[in-house]
Structure 1
């Protein structure tokens, strides 16, 4: 535990140091600061992971005093043979691309160009594994030319020296290398810390994409039962990938392949880092930057598991009319939201994602979708048509209504829909978890945090199909139809009236008490009436 804290603290210190470098060169809170921090952190991580894997492959390298010199002294054939033995998900580096080599070269002329060239070479030579594609097939760069973010050319060498010095200063010694085998449960704190300062308007509204760990854990533990292998997992609005990470770790990284789509470049960058930190590098080629609604890259692929926390409100009026074409009609069976006369940004784009998800499940597929709670009770419109389809197609497994403020970035109440192509229409579980959780203050926002026992309670009633008074109910599809397709647990709770047996004498005594009280109240009412009349008679016109 002490080592866990030490490693986490040291890594956060590295992130803070990189932020200080940016601030010292005029890039504090600059739009490019995010790119610099994430890319330099990634370079550091890949560098250390490469060193770690080399030493596993050839233990004698752990004993050498200067790793760079030892690697450089190898014959090309020997070095290539060493690289060939590494796992395909490990970055391939040359000796001159290691941090320690650059550290020793920092006083040479044009160091900024050397630094940029090094990162560019790493990007090109590892593009097949680490690049993200757009829907057109174009690949992005793993690293930008970071010195170019400094507008004053005379400061670029100094900026790159400052970066390489921080990376060298925070070298992780051998006692930390064990943590490269850890999973998301360890790295999640570092990841959250890394994006914390970018969860605001100035940093890019990244909180829109980040799903609380509690929600991600609940979804994974409800969706996945038993041992599953060769699984395709998909998120059409992936954000930073929190839902997919929890799902993959529940299934097992080697038992699943991740597929994702998102229109945001920042999202794709963070997801790539998340995949690398979580032993899921093999899925990076399946990360696609695209508009899932109009240009879905995986339209013809069906999935075993789909998870999504789609954007609830977003202006898509620019391409809304295009969706009316016949080619979209099968996928968007319930219709396309109309453009409101005011506040176009309030368009309910999540309704498109729900329909897309229903279309993308295979014959045994399962899905979990975060929706605004208003969706589950809407009495008409596209919302109701979608719910009718879920019941008609026998794919609703259950719904969990979450506590308010479960997302720190929005006060919108949310629920989670659980879909299953093999769901039992006679045992649909509806859960009202709105009263659970502890409220915490985070800056100007309030956030509700679920306790571990509360998470488990939600998971258990869903998986065991168990009814609990004022918490969960098990209903049939026919019952839901009679309630106008409402998915709200509260509308199905039994209203209980408590009866207490009393004797005839006790009954007479109670009735006398009620009569005496009424007589007293009536008498007081009569007194007040007379007083009011008296006051009125005393009024005079002047």
Structure 2
């Protein structure tokens, strides 16, 4: 991380804390990220418009009152809708709102204007190809909420203060070689997750875990055309895959059930300069209403909600995602339903990596049946990786990663890795260090058996264990205790008895001198 990126992260987090005292973590996350996003869109709009107007020696801000204002604005609007996916008027730019709100050092009322601008950004896309990608993006920025203040003036005071602080920060958007702002945005999402408790798992996968999943699905591939996450949250996992393969042309696909998190994901994509034509994120329940069912992807990654409930309707027995297995995942535990869904979406030469609770490795009944089918009938399971406990926000349970491929190079074995004891404790969370991640990936690459860390099990061994994948069955982590020298212990006990007798005699002597009874 560069010093400049670190500085930007600190500046944005300090501004976020301006709102922290006014509302809870979830609410101030939505406001501060929304305002940062608005500034980003404004700056992109201005830079692109200036580029278009350059042959006419004009600046976007200079169009107000120009003799050919409407003609120029129409030309910029058409170009911007195709290139950027949205349009803003010069008077609607972030810096203009911030200036009007703080004109002459006095806070002027701008809440009404701000609400109109945010609505207009969304409306500007109507009827265009980007309409779905920008629709309702700002619906969580409720400028009338009492959470911002008791009176309208209190709300305006707070908003103007935040906009003014943000306006002073250089996002360095003109630098196309830098993703400084995107990285800072990711940092803020992570900071909010660290304080969000159980809700954090709904929108964020810790970056070190994302890195492991991304490197696993990118392993052995020079290029990945498409990546899919059926429970994409804020989109950090999707973006991490692209970063690992350094592929700027990768297509992103995802589905997210929570509307607020769905908006956050789309913002995150755009903030990382992903063109609206390169991502397709849907807001719907993945298991009940899949939105990309007919598509297949080179890489599939996910951190689904652990042991979530789902309908497990008998109608799904005729669904192509589940029908071949003969059984559905139980209503109270949808873990394997997500696995089946992901396998269905995986291309023949693709790789999928999914984080799941340890129960999927050994639970019986329908889950045991599905597990056996995936291994014995399909031979899709490539590796099982145990992660440390307390590595995810909001839960301390130990988790594992299942890696699956439809066309496996190592068809006669399954690799087991126990990385549960390789971590660093940071405050209340456990954290995978760079060396821990490298050890996992190196072991996966070389498929080596390492004492107390990894084991390459034959399919026959797995079958003999009745397809139970519990890692300790394959990786022996038992630490023998040093043998006890009973003779030495006996000598120590004798020495203690002698010391006690000496102490008792000393106490008795003191008692006699004082003329009192001894206590024994």
TM-score range, shorter chain: 0.7 to 0.9
Structure 2: gaps of 5 or more residues: 491-520
SS at the partner of 1:429? strand
Match 2:474 to one of 477, 489, 492: 492
SS at the partner of 2:244? helix
2-structure distance, mates of 1:431, 1:256: 30
How many aligned positions are there?
Answer: 474
Deviation sequence 1:390-424 (CA, Å, 0-9, x none): 22212111111111112132121111000011112
User: What is residue 535 of structure 1 aligned with on the other side?
Assistant: none
User: What is residue 353 of structure 1 aligned with on the other side?
Assistant: 338
Residues 132 and 284, structure 1, Cα contact 8 Å, conserved in 2: no
Map 1:457-476 → 2, pairs under 5 A: 457-476=439-458
User: What is residue 309 of structure 1 aligned with on the other side?
Assistant: 303
Shift of 1:440: 2.8
User: What is residue 10 of structure 1 aligned with on the other side?
Assistant: 11
- Whether 1:479 and 2:461 are equivalent positions in the alignment is yes
2-structure distance, mates of 1:126, 1:118: 13
Deviation sequence 1:88-120 (CA, Å, 0-9, x none): 246421111112332454489974322211111
User: What is residue 531 of structure 1 aligned with on the other side?
Assistant: none
User: What is residue 271 of structure 2 aligned with on the other side?
Assistant: 277
- Whether 1:140 and 2:136 are equivalent positions in the alignment is yes
SS at the partner of 2:248? helix
C-alpha distance 111-490 of structure 1, shift in aligned 2 (>3 A): closer
2-structure distance, mates of 1:460, 1:200: 33
- Whether 1:381 and 2:365 are equivalent positions in the alignment is yes
2-structure distance, mates of 1:179, 1:161: 33
User: What is residue 366 of structure 1 aligned with on the other side?
Assistant: 351
Structure 1: gaps of 5 or more residues: 340-346, 499-513, 521-542
2-structure distance, mates of 1:367, 1:240: 19
User: What is residue 197 of structure 2 aligned with on the other side?
Assistant: 200
Residues 119 and 144, structure 1, Cα contact 8 Å, conserved in 2: no
C-alpha distance 466-166 of structure 1, shift in aligned 2 (>3 A): same
1-structure distance, mates of 2:65, 2:247: 34
User: What is residue 228 of structure 2 aligned with on the other side?
Assistant: 234
2-structure distance, mates of 1:497, 1:174: 54
User: What is residue 536 of structure 1 aligned with on the other side?
Assistant: none
State TM-score, norm by structure 1.
0.76
C-alpha distance 158-125 of structure 1, shift in aligned 2 (>3 A): farther
Shift of 1:456: 0.3
1-structure distance, mates of 2:414, 2:319: 33
Shift of 1:494: 7.3
C-alpha distance 324-98 of structure 1, shift in aligned 2 (>3 A): closer
User: What is residue 440 of structure 1 aligned with on the other side?
Assistant: 426
1-structure distance, mates of 2:477, 2:285: 47
2-structure distance, mates of 1:441, 1:298: 40
SS at the partner of 2:197? coil
1-structure distance, mates of 2:458, 2:174: 50
C-alpha distance 162-409 of structure 1, shift in aligned 2 (>3 A): closer
Shift of 1:67: 6.1
2-structure distance, mates of 1:31, 1:497: 44
Residues 372 and 413, structure 1, Cα contact 8 Å, conserved in 2: yes
SS at the partner of 2:383? strand
Residues 332 and 355, structure 1, Cα contact 8 Å, conserved in 2: no
Shift of 1:4: 2.3
User: What is residue 112 of structure 1 aligned with on the other side?
Assistant: 111
Residues 148 and 158, structure 2, Cα contact 8 Å, conserved in 1: no
Shift of 1:354: 1.1
User: What is residue 176 of structure 1 aligned with on the other side?
Assistant: 172
2-structure distance, mates of 1:139, 1:298: 19
C-alpha distance 495-265 of structure 1, shift in aligned 2 (>3 A): closer
2-structure distance, mates of 1:281, 1:195: 26
Map 1:320-359 → 2, pairs under 5 A: 320-321=312-313, 323=315, 326-327=318-319, 330-331=322-323, 333-338=325-330, 347-359=332-344
- Whether 1:452 and 2:434 are equivalent positions in the alignment is yes
SS at the partner of 2:143? helix
C-alpha distance 315-175 of structure 1, shift in aligned 2 (>3 A): closer
2-structure distance, mates of 1:260, 1:146: 26
C-alpha distance 185-476 of structure 1, shift in aligned 2 (>3 A): farther
Instruction: Supply the RMSD in Å over aligned alpha carbons.
Output: 3.8
Shift of 1:431: 0.8
2-structure distance, mates of 1:2, 1:79: 39
C-alpha distance 55-195 of structure 1, shift in aligned 2 (>3 A): farther
Residues 227 and 250, structure 2, Cα contact 8 Å, conserved in 1: yes
Shift of 1:145: 6.8
